[in-house]
Structure 1
Amino acid sequence: MLESQYMIENVLRHDWFMQAAMPLYWFGGALVAILILWLMLYLVDQLKLVREHRVEPSQNLFTQLCEAHTLTKTEAVELRSVADLVSHATPAGIFVRPDLLAEGCQKLGLDEVRQREWQYRLFGEAIAAEVELLHSPIREKITSSS
């Protein structure tokens, strides 16, 4: 009888220990899950960095310039199309040469309003006005009559 009472007490103590340890198991499991998730995110970030360094430097520069000018994805794609039509060396050249922008917009078939929007967006008022003057019909009449 004493032995069975001792066994029951032993089982009860063990059960109490399991109940007390259960939150620790859950906490440990959650901690392991968080660490695994963090590790996965870290690896994805590292792979992204490796992929960015593999991209051609001029393409990376084009992307950085699009971000600096706060262009949306759609605008960046449109500008990339313009750049691909005229930039022989690098697509980023469209950001420093207004003449390439004007030529590319014409080749892409963008209307004058959209061309002016791009000029103002990339080069500001002063340069955009100068480019507009260079390509205006008035200048063509003046140079053709000379």
Structure 2
Amino acid sequence: MKALIFTGFLICSTLTFGQDTLLTKSDSIVEIAKAQIGVPYKYATSNPDVSFDCSGFTYYVYSSCDVPSSRSSKAYGKLGTKVSLETCQPGDCMIFSGTAAGSTTIGHVGIVLSNDENGIKFIHCSSSKKHFGVVVTDYYNSNYPKRFLQVRRLY
């Protein structure tokens, strides 16, 4: 038997009926994040009807699923539990430095969509002129490995 639990307009619960499992927390995080693809970038915003910055995007997605999060990208480095890049899972938070060469200060965050034989894909709100707004990025075919700092599981 399957049932849906709605939190507002978003499904964000894990329920098991017999052997059937509805959307897990990570599934819900991924689905809500993907629904924001195309929302434009604007610094210091977290409104899906208008725009996001990177932490505004992650804050909106995680808080929609009752996952503790922050409006500051720097704060994500202390939330949840650190996991390795190799073991990251959909819904985990990817943390990067800012764009300054050699920086180790947190300056960008995104959410893992997948980690499989095709590599890691993550979704984030980018200020880049080439990839502006909420976009999906293939981690290994981008400049993000140079900026990678850590992955954290928040749920």
Structure with a larger share of its residues in helix: 1
Query: Relative contact order (alpha carbons < 8 A, sep ≥ 6): 1 or 2 greater?
Result: 2
Would you say same fold, with TM above 0.5? no
Structure with a larger share of its residues in strand: 2
Larger radius of gyration: 1
TM-score normalised to the size of structure 2?
0.21
